[in-house]
């Protein structure tokens, strides 16, 4: 009887470890989304800002007690400060749950990148990997 319980425990621990490793590997990965996918009128309107000639919006969905959200805000803020073609808007999902619902966001931080027309082009769950995000962002016109 004890051997059976031990086997169940070992299997459960192995499955939990595998699940944790898979989640960690996926966290922060930049994923391209269906071109032009937008919630309703588009990302710029959801964020409450105008494109004003910028080529991309980095819309960050955060929550008040989220330490990785602060890391993400710093990273995205630095990217937007260094590149006038980018806008960064952080939305607290506790205050604007309708935005999270419209975008199908289930965890924070999540960053959704919209093109100049408001269509979703990238999505990142977790703290973005800076190099990967920079490489995936739309290029500035030459």
Q: Which pair of tokens denotes residue 105?
A: 């966001």
Taking the C-alpha atoms of residue 97 and residue 22, their distance in angstroms, rounded to an integer, is 28
Per residue of the chain (142 residues), what is the pLDDT tens digit?
577 777 777 777 777 776 655 555 555 566 667 655 554 458 899 888 889 889 999 999 999 999 999 999 999 999 999 999 999 999 999 999 999 999 999 999 999 999 998 999 999 999 998 899 998 888 755 4
Query: Cβ distance 91 to 47 under 8 Å?
Result: yes
Q: Put the strands of the sheet holding 56-62 in their side by side order.
A: 30-37, 120-125, 110-115, 56-62, 86-92
The model's pTM is 0.76
* Burial bucket for residue 29 (CB in 10 Å: 0-12, 13-18, 19+): middle
135 vs 105: CA distance, rounded Å: 23
Q: What residue ranges define each of the domains in the chain, with the CATH number in brackets?
A: 29-136 (3.40.30.10)
């Amino acid at each position: 009887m004890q051997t059976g319980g031990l086997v169940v425990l070992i299997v459960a621990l192995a499955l939990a470890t595998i699940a944790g490793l898979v989640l960690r590997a996926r966290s922060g990965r930049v994923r391209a989304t269906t071109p032009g996918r937008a919630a309703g009128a588009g990302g710029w309107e959801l964020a409450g800002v105008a494109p004003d000639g910028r080529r991309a919006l980095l819309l960050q969905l955060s929550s008040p007690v989220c330490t990785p959200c602060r890391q993400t805000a710093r990273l995205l803020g630095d990217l937007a400060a260094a590149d006038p073609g980018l806008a960064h808007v952080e939305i607290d999902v506790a205050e604007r749950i309708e935005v999270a619902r419209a975008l199908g966001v289930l965890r924070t931080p999540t960053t959704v990148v919209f093109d100049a027309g408001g269509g979703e082009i990238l999505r990142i769950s977790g703290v973005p990997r800076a190099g990967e995000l920079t490489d995936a962002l739309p290029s500035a016109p030459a």
